[in-house]
Amino acid sequence: MAPPAQSQRSPSPSQPSGVLIMVNSKSEVSDLKLQLRQLAGSRAPGVDDSKRELFKKVISYMTIGIDVSSLFGEMVMCSATSDIVLKKMCYLYVGNYAKVNPDLALLTINFLQRDCRDEDPMIRGLALRSLCSLRVANLVEYLVGPLGSGLKDNNSYVRMVAVMGVLKLYHISASTCIDADFPSILKHLMLHDSDTQVVANCLSALQEIWSAEASTSEEASREREALISKPVIYYLLNRIKEFSEWAQCLVLELVTKYVPSDSSEIFDIMNLLEDRLQHANGAVVLATIRVFLQLTLSMTDVHQQVYERIKAPLLTLVSSGSPEQSYAVLSHLHLLVMRAPYVFSSDYKHFYCQYNEPSYVKRLKLEMLTAVANESNTYEIVTELCEYAANVDIPIARESIRAVGKIALQQYDVNAIVDRLLQFLEMEKDYVTAEALVLVKDLLRKYPQWSHDCIAVVGNISSKNVQEPKAKAALIWMLGEYSQDMQDAPYVLESLVENWDEEHSAEVRLHLLTAVMKCFFKRPPETQSALGAALAGGIADFHQDVHDRALFYYRILRYNVSVAERVVNPPKQAVSVFADTQSSEIKDRIFDEFNSLSVLYQKPSYMFTDKEHRGPLEFADELGNLSIGEAANNVVPTQMVEENDKDLLLTTSEKEETKGSRNNGSAYTVPYDGSSTSVFASQAQIESAVSNPTLAGHSPQASFAIDDLLGLGIPATPAVPSPPQLKLNTKAALDPSTFQQKWRQLPVALSQEISVNPQGVAALTAPQALLRHMQSHSIHCIASGGQSPNFKFFFFAQKFEESSNYLVECVINTSSAKAQVKIKADDQNTSQDFSTLFESALSKFGTS
Partner 1 sequence: MPVAASAIYFLNLRGDVLINRLYRDDVGGNMVDAFRMHIMQTKELGTCPVRQIGGCSFFYMRISNVYIVIVVSSNANVACAFKFVVEAVALFKSYFGGAFDEDAIRNNFVLIYELLDEIMDFGYPQNLSPEILKLYITQEGVRSPFSSKPSDKPVPNATLQVTGAVGWRREGLVYKKNEVFLDIVESVNLLMSSKGSVLRCDVTGKILMKCFLSGMPDLKLGLNDKIGLEKESQLKSRPSKSGKTIELDDVTFHQCVNLTRFNSEKTVSFVPPDGEFELMKYRITEGVNLPFRVLPTIKELGRTRMEVNVKVKSVFGAKMFALGVVIKIPVPKQTAKTSFQVTSGRAKYQAAIDCLVWKIRKFPGQTEPTLSAEVELISTMAEKKSWTRPPIQMEFQVPMFTASGLRVRFLKVWEKSGYNTVEWVRYITKAGSYEIRC
Q: In the window 160-189, what residues touch partner 1 (CB under 8 A)?
A: 160-161, 164, 167-168, 171
Binding mask 269-298 for partner 1 (x = CB under 8 A): -----xxx-xxxxxx-xxx-----------
CB of 297 to partner 1, least distance (A): 20
| Binding residues among 698-737 for partner 1 as defined by CB under 8 A | none
Cα end-to-end distance, the chain, whole Å: 35
State the Cα–Cα distance between residues 649 and 668, nearest whole angstrom.
Answer: 8
* CA nearest to 517, candidates 487, 556, 547: 556
- Within a 13 Å sphere around the CA of 16, how many CA atoms are in the beta-carbon half? 7
Running DSSP on this structure, what letter comes out for residue 728? Answer: B
- Window contacting partner 1 (CB under 8 A); options: 224-232, 244-252, 436-444, 748-756: 244-252
Q: Which is nearer to partner 1, 89 or 749 (CB)?
A: 89
Q: Which is nearer to partner 1, 57 or 659 (CB)?
A: 57
CB of 229 to partner 1, least distance (A): 19
321 binds partner 1, rule: CB under 8 A: yes
* CA nearest to 477, candidates 423, 439, 449: 439
44 binds partner 1, rule: CB under 8 A: no
Q: Which is nearer to partner 1, 523 or 614 (CB)?
A: 614
Contact between residue 720 and residue 538 where contact means Cβ atoms under 8 Å apart: no
| Binding residues among 628-657 for partner 1 as defined by CB under 8 A | 628-630, 632
Neighbours of 826 (CB within 10 A): 18
Among 21, 34, 64, 540, binds partner 1 (CB under 8 A): 64
135 binds partner 1, rule: CB under 8 A: yes
- Window contacting partner 1 (CB under 8 A); options: 524-532, 553-561, 606-614, 700-708: 606-614
Among 238, 319, 499, 678, binds partner 1 (CB under 8 A): 319
Spatial CB neighbours of 383, under 8 Å, sequence gap ≥ 6: none
Q: Which is nearer to partner 1, 130 or 298 (CB)?
A: 130
250 binds partner 1, rule: CB under 8 A: yes
Phi, psi of 782 (to 5 degrees): -110, -25
* CA nearest to 438, candidates 459, 466, 407, 464: 466
Written in H, E and C, the secondary structure of 535-580 is: HHHHHCCCCHHHHHHHHHHHHHHHHCHHHHHHHHCCCCCCCCCCCC
CB of 277 to partner 1, least distance (A): 8
Cα 735 to chain centroid distance, Å, stands at 22
Q: Which is nearer to partner 1, 305 or 316 (CB)?
A: 316
State the Cα–Cα distance between residues 323 and 18, nearest whole angstrom.
Answer: 38
| Binding residues among 763-792 for partner 1 as defined by CB under 8 A | 785, 787
CB of 667 to partner 1, least distance (A): 27
Among 231, 355, 571, 576, binds partner 1 (CB under 8 A): 355
Binding mask 140-159 for partner 1 (x = CB under 8 A): ---------------xxxx-
| Binding residues among 411-440 for partner 1 as defined by CB under 8 A | 428-429
**What are the b/e assignments for 762-796, b being 16+ CB within 10 Å?**
ebbeebbebbebbbebbbbbbbbbbeeeebbbbbb
Q: Which is nearer to partner 1, 629 or 718 (CB)?
A: 629
The residue type found at 106 is L
Q: Which is nearer to partner 1, 350 or 777 (CB)?
A: 350
Cα 80 to chain centroid distance, Å, stands at 49
Strands lying side by side in the sheet with 805-813: 626-627, 780-787, 790-798, 805-813, 818-825, 750-755
| Binding residues among 433-472 for partner 1 as defined by CB under 8 A | none
* Number of shown-chain residues binding partner 1 (CB under 8 A): 124
Among 33, 334, 350, 844, binds partner 1 (CB under 8 A): 350
Contact between residue 683 and residue 477 where contact means Cβ atoms under 8 Å apart: yes
Binding mask 101-130 for partner 1 (x = CB under 8 A): -------------------xxx--xx--x-
320 binds partner 1, rule: CB under 8 A: yes
Q: Which is nearer to partner 1, 115 or 442 (CB)?
A: 115
Contact between residue 490 and residue 483 where contact means Cβ atoms under 8 Å apart: yes
CB of 282 to partner 1, least distance (A): 5
Q: Which is nearer to partner 1, 16 or 571 (CB)?
A: 16
Exposed, middle or buried: residue 159 (CB in 10 Å: 0-12, 13-18, 19+)?
Answer: buried
Phi, psi of 291 (to 5 degrees): -60, -45
Cα dist. 542→548, 574, 844 in Å? 10, 34, 12
Binding mask 184-213 for partner 1 (x = CB under 8 A): -----------xxxx--x--x--xx-----
Torsion angle (degrees, nearest 10) of CA 681, 682, 685, 687? 110
Q: Which is nearer to partner 1, 329 or 649 (CB)?
A: 329
Among 30, 42, 82, 184, binds partner 1 (CB under 8 A): 82
365 binds partner 1, rule: CB under 8 A: no
CB of 149 to partner 1, least distance (A): 16
327 binds partner 1, rule: CB under 8 A: yes
| Binding residues among 379-408 for partner 1 as defined by CB under 8 A | 384, 387, 390-392
Residues facing 791 on adjacent strands: 786, 812
- Window contacting partner 1 (CB under 8 A); options: 325-333, 337-345, 472-480, 770-778: 325-333
Q: Which is nearer to partner 1, 286 or 568 (CB)?
A: 286
